[in-house]
Structure 1
Amino acid sequence: MTKNKVTVKINGAEYTLTGDESEDYLFSIANFVDKKVKEILYGNPKHSNTSSAVLSALTITDELFKTRREVEVLKRSLSEPEEKIKKLKRDYEELKEAYDRLKEEYESYVKLQQEKEADVNTLKKDYDELYENYIKNNSEYEKLIKENAYLREQNEKLEKEISQTHENIANLKDQLLESQIELVRVKKDLKDLKELQSKKRGI
């Protein structure tokens, strides 16, 4: 796959970036790092390019760590609604099973009483009460279904937020890498300058 290659400026210096991402993306991370470096230099003009690059890397790393913590909080918050839904579903299933068992017992008893020509009024009253409870529980279950739909909607929103957070983390990682590359370059330039000055003094 052909890599994209762009020339960007960071704090007035030109750098060549290559990557699989789009050119717009490469320009955006360069602009981000450039903005960070300029903010630090604006706040304290005494900073050198090296110190401003290091402080920029620290600032970006701080943002990355904070974003990671936010992602962990979001992940934990996603598990709570799912557990609640599972518990409510288990409770409903237990109520429904109990109702089905009682209904079956009632029908068997009614059949037996009919065969014996017995009075089933009392049992029917119990059955009606049980049926009313079942209707009530069924209504509660429908509410749970609506709540479940709401929770799923919230879950989808959280997943979108996490996806966006992951993208931000990826951006921060790339920005940090560019800052580290810049720092290595600055250190090399500084070393070359010292060697040149040393040679001049030797002459």
Structure 2
Amino acid sequence: MGEDQGKRRTTVSISGQNYVISGKADVSHIHEVANFVDKKMKEMRKMNPYLDKSQLAVLTAVNISDEYLRLKKQVEQESKKKDGEI
């Protein structure tokens, strides 16, 4: 019972399906994340209209992960430059 302390639950819609998301983040942040994923899935769907939902979800996850890892590397490199390591 103590595990749910501070957690918020909200319902979001991603690719036409509702999901109940539970987390400590603000509800507005949860909706922002869900809207981002939904937007990315729509972009992937436009480029690949014949994918089923599972394939679409995986392709979207791969694309979001690629963006995240590229940005993470960029931030790490900029941090090293700032600290004089490069």
TM-score (structure 1 length as normaliser): 0.38
Deviation at 1:17, TM superposition (A): 0.2
Partner Cα separation in structure 1 for residue 26 and residue 83 of structure 2: 35
Unaligned runs of 5+ in 1: 81-203
Q: RMSD across aligned C-alpha pairs, in angstroms?
A: 1.0
Unaligned runs of 5+ in 2: none
Higher strand share: 2
- Counterpart of 1:57 in structure 2 is 61
The DSSP-based 3-state class of the residue aligned with 1:15 is: strand
Look at both structures and tell me which one has the larger radius of gyration over its CA atoms.
1
- Counterpart of 2:70 in structure 1 is 66
- Counterpart of 2:44 in structure 1 is 40
Higher helix share: 1
Correspondence 1:78 to 2:82? yes
With CA pairs under 8 Å and 6+ residues apart, which has the higher RCO, 1 or 2?
Answer: 1
Alignment length (residue pairs): 80
The DSSP-based 3-state class of the residue aligned with 1:9 is: strand
Partner Cα separation in structure 1 for residue 6 and residue 74 of structure 2: 35
Cα deviations across residues 94-115 of structure 1 (Å, max 9, x unaligned)?
A: xxxxxxxxxxxxxxxxxxxxxx
Q: 1:70-149 counterparts in 2 under 5 A?
A: 70-80=74-84
Cα deviations across residues 38-79 of structure 1 (Å, max 9, x unaligned)?
A: 111111211111111000000011011101111121121112
- Counterpart of 2:25 in structure 1 is 21
Residue 53 of structure 1 aligns to which amino acid in structure 2? A
